[in-house]
Amino acid sequence: MKEQVLKYKVELIGVAVGLVGGFSYWYFVGCASGTCPITSSPTISSLYGGMMGWFLFGSFSKSKQEKSNQEK
């Protein structure tokens, strides 16, 4: 378990930042009419932010090929 956490450290930080960002967006901007599919609910907004954080921060991490080349 500890190895998996260390392996995906950057992505997990991105998820945490995204969750906070998604919730903050819902809280401060949100959707006044309630018809917006993402920003009308704090849960969906937070999960969407977490997913975007995973993708964004994951793009900065080294690929598996680069990591295996450095270990050799």
Tens-place pLDDT, residues 37-56: 888 899 999 999 999 999 99
Total structural domains within the chain: 1
| Torsion sign across C-alpha atoms 20, 23, 27, 31 | positive
Q: Exposure of 50 by Cβ count < 10 A (0-12 exposed, 13-18 middle, 19+ buried)?
A: buried
62 confidence band (pLDDT: 50, 70, 90): confident
Question: Is residue 47 included in any domain, yes or no?
Answer: yes
Asked if residue 1 is part of any domain, the answer here is: no
Question: Does the structure show a pLDDT above 80 at 22?
Answer: yes
Percent above pLDDT 70 for the chain: 86
Give a yes or no: residue 65 inside a domain.
no
For residue 61, the model assigns a pLDDT of: 78
71 in any annotated domain: no
Provide the H-helix boundaries in 1-72. 2-7, 9-28, 42-58, 64-71
Domain that holds residue 36: 19-59
